[in-house]
Structure 1
Amino acid sequence: MNLRQIEYAVTVAETENFTRAAQACHTVQSALSHQIARLEDELGAPLFERSSRRVRLTPAGRAFLPAARQLLHDAQRVRDEVAAASGQIRGTLAVSLISALTAPDVVALLDRFHGRHPRVDVRLTSGMSEAMLADVREHRADVAFVGLWSGEEITGLNTLLLCDEALVALLPPDHPLATRSQLDLQALAAERWVDYRAGSSARRQTDEAFSAAGYDRHVHFEIDHLGLLERIVRRGLAVGMVPAGLAAGLPGLAAVPVRDAPTRRVYCVWARQPTPAAQAFIELVAEAAKEA
């Protein structure tokens, strides 16, 4: 068993395709397939169920994958730690953030980071908080900026609380409630709603608030990105809730404070043992948090 075989197997698991995995690993498919076959022989169990359309993990493959990712992470960490001891921070920095992030300015932080550490390969993605937490735990991301409802705990990761944000009602300008100086959940309960997917942390912020207040509401549109929420509200199809700081950047829509509004907590999260590149970036985030 060697690191190259493990890398090939992890890439196949992530792409669910031998051809795409070979391309991602910059090798030919026959060589990748041969190395994975050797790895399976050594492990004494098949890792993948192969079909003409898709590749799926076997039970043995599902047991293999977390440990394999950890091995690859640890091997890269050894290289990066040795380089850092010589005064060079290099490797990769994978950062994820929610689309509704209002602060800090992650792009500005990455620009500052690149100026200090130009040898680090920076990658940036966006997504839902719960998926990004899993990515950090499983070493698919180094650092994530997530928004959680106030009753949710984060386990197994380092955290830096950046802010607590109250949500405001987001309404089309011609909505009957748009001219109010303040609303409450009772006034909003009967409206058609656009919100994030059921079960997501972003959705629980509003679900828990309405449940605690004793009001039912109906979510007609489920989305996973702020841009779609904005478009639905602009068309007058539904009302939504967004952080107050974010609503300020949506001209033409009415943002009305809500007396008993839910809140979200915004965190920066990272692994218990960050890479040198991740540690350097986290220090920048902490600096920005103190300046805010």
Structure 2
Amino acid sequence: MELQQMRYVVAVAETSSFTRAAERCLVVQSALSHQVARLERELGARLFERTSRRVRLTPAGEAFLPAARQCLEAADRAAAEVAAAVGEIRGRLAVGLIPTVAAVDVPRALRDFRGRYPHVRVSLRVGASEELADRVRDGALDIAFLGLPTTARPRGVAARALARDRLVAVVAPDHPLAGEPAVDLRRLASEVFVDLPAGTAGRAQSDLAFAAAGLDRDVAFEVTSADFIDRLVGENLGVAMLPSAYAPRLSGVTTIEVTDAPARVEYAVWSRFGRTPATSAFLTALGIDADTDADG
């Protein structure tokens, strides 16, 4: 069994196509198909069901795929560790971030990092804080930037608090509140809201604040990503509450200070059980001492 064969299997599984897998792996399709068939003979089981219309994993393939990925990740990690030992950082850096991250200018940080370490392959995943923390814990992400209510802390990961921020109200320019210098939660509770889905950390920041004040509110629109909220608010479908540091990125809306606004804390989190050389280098580039600030 060879690593290249595993790479071919993973590529076919992810693309559901031998043709697209061959294109991704930069080989001719016949060579890729031959190596997959050779591996199947060695394993004594078919990994894929092939028809003229689709390719999908067999039960044996479903069982093989996670182990193949682990082997490939281990091989990449070994190569990266050897390179680091001779002074070269390479390998992969998988970064997760919430759309409203503001404590770190992630694109600029990656630009500087890439300029210093050009052999590191970088992938980005945008998602909700709780999802990103889970992916750091299971090793799918190397580092993530989260936003949590002040009553919560990242669990099961190493963490560094980066910044604390208050939420502001976001309304359409022609909304009756647009000319107000400030509002409170009681006044906002009478409005229809646009917010993140219930149960997410981003939604909890506002839910907890209204609950603590003994107030109910109507969240009529739920959006899975905060970077779409301002478009709905701009159409006067509702109001929203978003971090003040994120507000300058919004367009077509008006922001208002909330006198009793909830707060959130932004964190950088990474694995507590070992870091790749690229992860350590990125943390250092961010000014984070991972050995003393791993407090998750």
The TM-score, its normalising length taken from structure 1, stands at 0.82
Q: Which moved more, 1:101-110 or 1:147-156?
A: 147-156
Name the residue aligned to 1:27: 27
Q: CA deviation at 1:281?
A: 0.6
Name the residue aligned to 2:276: 275
Name the residue aligned to 2:79: 79
CA distance in 1 between partners of 2:41 and 2:133 (Å): 34
State how 1:52-67 maps to structure 2 within 5 Å: 61-67=61-67
Q: Which moved more, 1:239-248 or 1:64-73?
A: 64-73
Amino acid at match of 2:205: Q
Name the residue aligned to 2:111: 111
Q: CA deviation at 1:87?
A: 1.1
Name the residue aligned to 2:236: 236
Note the alpha carbon deviations across 1:242-285, whole angstroms, 9 max, x for none: 10111134366332233443333222222332211121011111
Amino acid at match of 1:286: G
Contact kept in structure 1, 2:230 and 2:251, CA below 8 Å: no
Q: CA deviation at 1:51?
A: 6.1
State how 1:155-234 maps to structure 2 within 5 Å: 155-234=155-234
Contact kept in structure 1, 2:93 and 2:121, CA below 8 Å: yes
Contact kept in structure 1, 2:171 and 2:178, CA below 8 Å: yes
CA distance in 1 between partners of 2:196 and 2:139 (Å): 25
Note the alpha carbon deviations across 1:33-86, whole angstroms, 9 max, x for none: 444445455556555566666555556555544443332222111111111111
Q: Which moved more, 1:118-127 or 1:242-251?
A: 118-127
Identity %: 51
The residue matched to 1:180 in structure 2 has which SS?
A: coil
Amino acid at match of 1:233: V
* Structure 2 portions without partners, runs of 5+: none
Name the residue aligned to 2:286: 285
Amino acid at match of 1:240: A
Cα distance change on mapping 1:49 and 1:22 into 2, 3 Å: same
Contact kept in structure 1, 2:166 and 2:243, CA below 8 Å: yes
Note the alpha carbon deviations across 1:110-130, whole angstroms, 9 max, x for none: 222233223323344433334
The TM-score, its normalising length taken from structure 2, stands at 0.81
Q: CA deviation at 1:136?
A: 3.5
CA distance in 2 between partners of 1:41 and 1:236 (Å): 62
Contact kept in structure 1, 2:230 and 2:252, CA below 8 Å: no
Cα distance change on mapping 1:27 and 1:132 into 2, 3 Å: farther
| RMSD (Å), alpha carbons | 3.1
Cα distance change on mapping 1:72 and 1:247 into 2, 3 Å: same
Q: How many residues align?
A: 289
* Structure 1 portions without partners, runs of 5+: none
